[in-house]
């Protein structure tokens, strides 16, 4: 077990980083907004952290700076984006990511161009990342209980209904987009701290695809959706090693199959099973007590 | 003072005047009926009151505060709750949670300006319990909406509105698609809700139901309110008969 953990230490650590990125995607998708801006903040914070690290800025200060910058930019983007809806909003976030990619590739003096920045010290290990994931997951789970969770559910499934029961759609979206930016920035920063490098590959479209894969596989029904999605994505290369160069094709097939047969992802599947069990238990309870009045 | 006043309301979709200069007022504690042929502007009027359709002209005021121009969520917190023609329940939540949504953003009583504090937990539970009991949903509170028959799903929606304790409840065809027995049951429930002090505006086609539950009736045609008054007298008016049956004399 110990040797197994040691052998796959990098994969496990990367999985935890991916979980935070998946959380970032999840918090916006949860309120019915299709945004890939998370990748933008992942990139901004990643390069910010890598550059600051070259000048030996203390890691905690870097994390603080990354959160501050992505929070402020996230809020600005949110204020701009909530004026739009649906596909136009998604396009703005895609444009944001593509714009950053161009900047990263061309501003070689600062970003290192296509080679990126590498050879940085590793600041966080697997257990440190696990701790961060647990803290974020607990906070999210607490956040989406009760009132807030019901508001998110209504925004995800029926915007008009949400408005008709007093939910301010714009405000909810601004909060979600800002929260998503913070988490995306945190993930980008931790990615650099774990790997000791930031390469231009981390801004491209394939990161967008990976991030989407996580939320599609995991689903947006609850906080454990992105956890499952990130875990699957992190281990996919290992699991699909038999497919060699066909790996990406197999990954694509898996996504299509999940979208067709379990569009709500793993979390949605779990919730549906739980609802079925609850319904069955209730109906058998009712049958047993039929003669009396059963008040819930 | 009227609870709600609509003055010269106009809603246009392109060249179509869906609501074309409606002036009506709703009185506190009444059950108001809103009838008219398909496409006469009933739902658009309800949308205009609840903020889902923008007024091009005219105004809507609730308790002397102008609410036209506000967003739907702001209008809800001022004390107007509505249902939709199609059933709008969240399949992922239980019946009780679906009703809870109505109280989540509701404001404490005595505050008409929408800026009051959110309700404390026990007040929420009281309101939900009351709404559940009023709509006869005690046995189903833990179920999911998909497990309930259509008629009961409608009741859950109405319970969600009632639980928010609004000044005015707008019901858009709550009886649509129901059997005669379900209609009779639901109309009894609406009478109970009115006795509880709620003010209602109900869109409905069935004149038998209208006579049973409404104390005041508005008739719309071509975006205008063509008649109003007590249901019995109003339904007798020739202009109303024409709107519904066409200009044809000698029919039984």
Angle at which helices A9-29 and A205-218 pack, to 10 degrees? Answer: 80
How much is the pTM?
Answer: 0.88
CB B183 within 8 A of CB B209: yes
Task: Give the closest residue to A117 by CA, choosing from A134, A130, A104.
Answer: A104
Q: Determine the angle formed by the axes of helices A169-195 and A146-157, rounding to 10 degrees.
A: 100
Quickly state the pLDDT bin for A115 (edges 50, 70, 90). Answer: confident
Give the count of beta carbons closer than 10 Å to the beta carbon of residue A85: 15
Would you call B104 an interface residue with chain A, using a CB distance cutoff of 8 Å? yes
Structure tokens belonging to residue B184: 């009779």
- Provide CB contacts within 8 A for A148, sequence distance 6+: none
Q: Which residues contact B88 (CB under 8 A, 6 or more apart)?
A: A158, A160, A161, A164, B157
- The enclosing H or E element of B168 equals strand B168-172
Residue A287 has pLDDT above 70, yes or no: no
Interface ipTM: 0.89
Q: How confident is the model at residue A295 (pLDDT cuts 50, 70, 90)?
A: very low
Q: Determine the average pLDDT of the residues in A122-130.
A: 92
Residue-range domains of chain B with CATH: 4-245 (3.40.50.300)
Structural domain of A146: 10-288
Residues of chain B below pLDDT 70: 108-116, 245-252
The answer to whether residue A215 is domain-embedded is yes
In a domain, A258, yes or no: yes
B57: three-class secondary structure by DSSP? strand
**A279 contacts in chain B (CB < 8 Å):** 143-144, 147
Q: Do B93 and A150 touch (CB under 8 A)?
A: yes
Q: Report whether pLDDT(A50) > 50.
A: yes
* Cβ distance of B139 and A168 shorter than 8 Å: no
What gap in Å lies between CA B180 and CA B157, rounded to an integer?
19
Q: Is residue A101 part of a domain?
A: yes
3-class secondary structure, B247: coil
Structurally, chain A folds into a number of domains equal to 1
Look at residue A44 and tell me whether its pLDDT is greater than 90.
Answer: yes
Query: Which whole number is the average pLDDT over A139-158?
Result: 91
What gap in Å lies between CA A215 and CA A22, rounded to an integer? 6
pLDDT of residue B248: 56
H/E run at residue B26: strand B16-26
SS3 B172: strand
pLDDT of residue B66: 94
Query: Which residues on adjacent β-strands are paired with residue B81?
Result: B169
B235 vs A165 pLDDT, higher one = A165
Report whether pLDDT(A296) > 50. Answer: no
- Does A255 map to a domain? yes
- When pLDDT is cut at 50, 70 and 90, the band that residue A288 belongs to is low
Question: In this predicted model, what pLDDT tens digit does every residue of B100-109 receive, in sequence order?
Answer: 998 888 876 6
Average pLDDT score over chain A: 89
Put simply, whether A282 touches B (Cβ < 8 Å) is: yes
Give B206 to chain A, closest Cα distance, Å.
26
- Residue A129 has phi, psi (to 5 degrees) of -65, -40
Domain assignment present for residue A2? The answer is: no
What gap in Å lies between CA A73 and CA A192, rounded to an integer? Answer: 20
For chain B, counts of helices (H) and of strands (E): 9, 10
Tell me which of A241 and B133 has the higher pLDDT.
Answer: B133
Q: Report the Cα B38 to chain-centroid distance in Å.
A: 17
Contact pairs from chain A to chain B, CB under 8 Å:
89
With CB atoms and an 8 Å threshold, state whether B76 touches A164.
yes
Q: What pLDDT shows up at residue B111?
A: 47
pLDDT of residue B252: 44
Residue A176 placed within a domain: yes
Cβ–Cβ below 8 Å for A150 and B102: no
Q: Chain A 192-221, CB below 8 Å of chain B: which residues?
A: 221
Instruction: Determine whether the interchain pair A164/B90 forms a contact, defined as Cβ–Cβ distance below 8 Å.
Output: no
Query: Are B31 and B215 in contact, with CB atoms under 8 Å apart?
Result: yes
User: Would you place residue A179 in the very low, low, confident or very high pLDDT band (cuts 50, 70, 90)?
Assistant: very high
Residue A282: per-residue pLDDT: 74
Q: Is residue A5 part of a domain?
A: no
CATH of the domain at A279: 1.10.3470
Nearest to B106 among A161, A163, A166 (CB): A166
The Cα A17–Cα A128 span in angstroms is 11
Task: Report chain A residues whose CB lies below 8 A from the CB of B138.
Answer: 293, 295-296
Separation between Cα atoms, residue B130 and residue B4, nearest integer Å: 25
The answer to whether residue A141 neighbours chain B at the CB level (below 8 Å) is no
């Amino acid at each position: 077990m110990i040797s197994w953990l040691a052998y796959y230490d990098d994969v496990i650590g990367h999985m935890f980083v991916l979980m935070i990125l998946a959380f970032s995607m999840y918090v916006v998708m949860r309120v019915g907004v299709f945004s890939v801006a998370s990748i933008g903040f992942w990139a901004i914070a990643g390069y910010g952290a890598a550059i600051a690290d070259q000048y030996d800025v203390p890691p905690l200060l870097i994390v603080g700076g990354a959160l501050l910058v992505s929070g402020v930019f996230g809020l600005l983007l949110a204020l701009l984006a909530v004026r739009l809806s649906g596909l136009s909003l998604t396009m703005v976030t895609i444009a944001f990511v593509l714009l950053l990619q161009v900047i990263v590739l061309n501003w070689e003096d600062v970003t290192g161009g296509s080679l990126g920045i590498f050879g940085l010290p590793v600041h966080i290990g697997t257990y440190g990342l696990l701790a961060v994931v647990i803290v974020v997951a607990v906070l999210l789970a607490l956040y989406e209980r009760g009132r807030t969770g019901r508001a998110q559910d209504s925004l995800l499934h029926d915007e008009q209904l949400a408005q008709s029961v007093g939910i301010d759609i714009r405000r909810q979206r601004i909060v979600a987009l800002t929260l998503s930016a913070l988490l995306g920035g945190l993930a980008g920063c931790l990615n650099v701290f774990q790997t000791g490098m930031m390469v231009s590959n981390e801004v491209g479209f394939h990161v967008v695809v990976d991030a989407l894969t996580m939320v599609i596989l995991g689903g947006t029904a609850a906080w454990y959706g992105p956890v499952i999605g990130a875990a699957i994505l992190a281990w996919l290369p290992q699991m699909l090693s038999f497919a060699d160069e066909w790996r990406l094709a197999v990954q694509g097939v898996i996504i299509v199959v999940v979208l067709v047969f379990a569009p709500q992802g793993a979390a949605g599947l779990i919730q549906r099973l739980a609802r079925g069990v609850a319904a069955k238990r209730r109906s058998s309870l009712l049958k047993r007590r039929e003669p009396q009045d059963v008040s819930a | 003072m009227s609870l709600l006043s609509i003055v010269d309301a106009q809603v246009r979709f392109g060249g179509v005047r869906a609501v074309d200069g409606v002036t009506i007022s709703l009185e506190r504690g009444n059950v108001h009926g809103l009838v008219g042929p398909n496409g006469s502007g009933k739902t658009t009027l309800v949308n205009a009151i609840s903020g889902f359709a923008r007024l091009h002209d005219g105004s809507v005021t609730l308790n002397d505060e102008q609410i036209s121009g506000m967003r739907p969520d702001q209008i809800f917190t001022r004390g107007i709750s509505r249902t939709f023609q199609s059933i709008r329940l969240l399949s992922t939540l239980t019946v009780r949670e679906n009703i809870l949504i109505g109280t989540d953003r509701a404001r404490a009583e005595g505050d008409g300006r929408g800026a009051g504090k959110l309700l404390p937990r026990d007040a929420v539970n009281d309101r939900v319990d009351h709404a559940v009991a009023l709509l006869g949903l005690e046995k189903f509170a833990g179920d999911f909406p998909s497990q309930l028959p259509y008629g009961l799903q409608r009741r859950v929606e109405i319970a969600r509105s009632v639980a928010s304790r609004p000044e005015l409840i707008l019901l858009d065809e709550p009886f649509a698609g129901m059997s005669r027995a379900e209609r009779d049951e639901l109309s009894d429930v609406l009478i109970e809700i009115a006795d509880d002090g709620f003010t209602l505006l109900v869109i409905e086609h069935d004149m038998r139901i209208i006579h049973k539950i409404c104390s005041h009736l508005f008739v719309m045609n071509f975006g205008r309110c063509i008649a109003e008054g007590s249901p019995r007298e109003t339904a007798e008016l020739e202009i109303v008969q024409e709107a519904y049956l066409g200009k044809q004399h000698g029919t039984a």
